[in-house]
Amino acid sequence: MLLRPLLTDLLALFFPHACLACQQPLVAGERHLCTTCRAELPYTDYHLLPPDQNPLARRFWGKLPVAHTLSYLRFLRHGRVQHLLHQLKYQGQQGVGKALGQLYGAELASAGLAPAFDLIVPVPLHRRKLARRGFNQADAFAEGLAAALPCPWRAHALRRTEYTNSQTRKSRAERWQNVATVFEVARPQEVAGRHILLVDDVLTTGATLEACGAALLAAGASQLSIATIACAE
């Protein structure tokens, strides 16, 4: 009976798991993130601000009616958050997406936002990219949020109908043209009349979220809110 815990402890001693944000070894009781990073990550706390004082909300003014524009962390180049997102997207660390979703969902619930949302919908990947990566990082975040709020989520409520090039080096206008017509609602009856929380990993210009949000509203969603793991400022 004691063999398995002893073996686990020995493996952790010689092959310790590392914090996905700072790469320091994790100690007993820590998962994915060390206690120091949990305390020192650049949190936005935008969920504590009135919507009209939230700087992220301005990115969608005049483009899309968004009830709540939320982001857990600030994205800083070469910082802990960038490393965290790299581990999530390119190193297959789905667990960190779920963990961040659970942490943020708990904060949103504590702020009284849980009753606002009827359904969580992740920004989808094209099937070719999904097959290559093996999972959708936005879906991992959505799953964590759904568990903590709690709120139902639908991984395939939205679908991407065309394969598009990377948005990384494009201007906002180019990003919008790249994704403006590539999203559709797979099952309109799932979103009709519901307040949708649309989620993604990073909010930059907002072009992809705008295109997804427009599709959801056109399919009959009553309200739209947005949440991401991080935002570039």
Mean pLDDT by 10 residues, the chain (233 residues): 45 58 80 82 92 89 93 88 83 82 94 95 84 82 94 91 60 53 85 96 90 93 96 86
Instruction: Report the 3 state secondary structure along the chain.
Output: CCHHHHHHHHHHHHCCCECCCCCCECCCCCCCCCHHHHHHCCECCHHHCCHHHCCCHHHHCCCCCCCCEEEEEEECCCCHHHHHHHHHHHCCCHHHHHHHHHHHHHHHHHCCCHHHCCEEEECCCCHHHHHHHCCCHHHHHHHHHHHHCCCCECCCCEEECCCCCCCCCCCHHHHHHHHCCCEEECCHHHHCCCEEEEEEEEECCCHHHHHHHHHHHHCCCCEEEEEEEEEEC
Answer for the pair 131, 219: CB distance below 8 angstroms, yes or no.
Answer: no
d(CA 207, CA 221): 19
Determine the Cα angle at 34 with ends 30 and 35, to 5°: 90
Q: Token digits for 76?
A: 């800083």
d(CA 104, CA 186): 27
**pLDDT at residue number 136:** 85
**pLDDT at residue number 171:** 55
d(CA 219, CA 42): 36
Q: Which domains does the chain have, with CATH numbers?
A: 1-40 (no CATH), 42-232 (3.40.50.2020)
